[in-house]
A and B are shown apart, each in its own frame.
Chain A
């Protein structure tokens, strides 16, 4: 059974810092891994999807890397802004039904 751990659980930083959010998973036989953002009281917004054959994906100030063999993914946020404040979730998809398993997320606060 896939288990996903996200570190740190919470992070509070001043605006402008570069951030690293970590995700580890126990079953390395994944099809892909998706990073999401969840704002308070809202649904999940997809940020990046990395296929199992890929090493990284970039979108704007976000860069996600994947090391499938070691069961790790990292989300890098450059030049953080207050608008980046949210909970970030990673979800690798594995198993015959391609079901994503979610971590508990990293709660990020970027203060001005």
Chain B
């Protein structure tokens, strides 16, 4: 079974459209993330959710809205798509809270990515 899955894998759409990317994890983790990887391969955090609550929201346009219906899902909705939104979007998860060992969160697991192309 895939630990972190994303759909769709590829998304081609026109400027101005609204689209969603879905993410699901079956690892029982309490924290999920969305990252954007630009054309220069730089990976940057967008959002982080812990137990369905937003815990971090980096400087992302408000056209991007994450939705977490439950601990296992974190979807990303994008309104009024722009050319600059073209990138690969990665979902990830980890266990952050309630750890017995010191040192914070366990390792992150990433999904396969969604390549978004806006034309």
CB-defined interface of A61-101 with B at 8 Å, one 1/0 digit per residue?
00000000000000000000000000101010100011111
Residue with the greatest number of chain B CB neighbours at <10 A, chosen from A34, A54, A89: A34
* B101 CB–A CB distance under 8 Å: yes
Interface size on B, residues (CB 8 A): 28
B96: chain A residues within 8 A (beta carbon):
98
Query: How far apart are the CA atoms of A102 and B111 in the complex, in Å?
Result: 16
A93 touches B105 (CB 8 A): yes
- The 8 Å CB contact of B103, one of A43, A45, A51, A99, is A51
Query: How far apart are the CA atoms of A87 and B103 in the complex, in Å?
Result: 26
B41 touches A105 (CB 8 A): yes
Interface size on A, residues (CB 8 A): 26
B104: chain A residues within 8 A (beta carbon):
31-32, 51-52, 93, 98
Give min CB distance, B19 to chain A, whole Å. Answer: 20
A residues sitting closer than 8 Å to B (CB atoms) are 31-32, 34, 36, 42-46, 49, 51-54, 87, 89, 91, 93, 97-102, 104-105
28 interchain pairs, CB-CB under 8 A: A31-B105, A34-B108, A42-B112, A43-B111, A44-B43, A44-B92, A45-B110, A46-B107, A46-B110, A51-B103, A52-B103, A53-B102, A53-B103, A93-B105, A98-B31, A98-B94, A98-B96, A98-B104, A99-B45, A99-B48, A99-B56, A100-B45, A100-B108, A101-B45, A102-B42, A102-B43, A102-B44, A104-B41
